[in-house]
A = this chain, B = another copy of it.
Amino acid sequence: MNTKDLAYFDRLIKLKNFSQVAAEFGVTQPTITTAIKRLEADFGAKLVLRDRVHNDLTVTASGQQLTIHAAAILRKLDLAHQEITHLTQQRTVLGLPPIIENHYFPRVAAHLQERGMLENIETLEGGSVQLRNALRDGQVDLALLGSTEPLSYKTLVAEEFDRQPFNIFVSAAHPLAKRKRIYFSELRREKFVLFNNSFIHDTAFNQLARRNHFRPDVVFRARDTHIIMNLVAENVGVTYLTGLVDQHRNDVVRLELLDDEQPEFISSIAYRSSHVLTPAQEQVLAVLRGTLED
Contact = CB atoms under 8 A, between A and B. Distances in A.
Interface stretch (A201-209, A213-221, A257-265, A273-281): A273-281
18 contacts: A1-B3, A3-B3, A44-B84, A44-B88, A45-B87, A45-B88, A62-B87, A64-B276, A65-B80, A68-B276, A69-B77, A69-B79, A69-B274, A70-B80, A72-B76, A72-B274, A73-B73, A76-B76
Given A43-B84, A66-B80, 13 more contacts: A44-B84, A44-B85, A45-B84, A45-B87, A45-B88, A61-B278, A65-B84, A65-B87, A66-B84, A69-B274, A72-B274, A73-B77, A154-B154
Contacts of A72: 76, 274
Q: Which 3 A-B pairs have the closest CB atoms?
A: A69-B80, A65-B276, A64-B276
Contacts of A87: 45, 61-62, 65
Interface string A84-104: 110110000000000000000
Copies in the complex: 2
A267 B65 CA distance: 27
A2 interface: yes
A83 interface: yes
Contacts of A88: 44-45, 62
Nearest to A69: B80
Interface residues of A, number: 32
Contacts of A69: 76-77, 79-80, 83, 274
Nearest to A72: B76
A81 interface: yes
A68 B1 contact: no
A243 to B, nearest CB: 33
Contacts of A68: 274, 276
A4 interface: yes
Interface string A48-70: 00000000000001101110111
Contacts of A61: 87, 276, 278
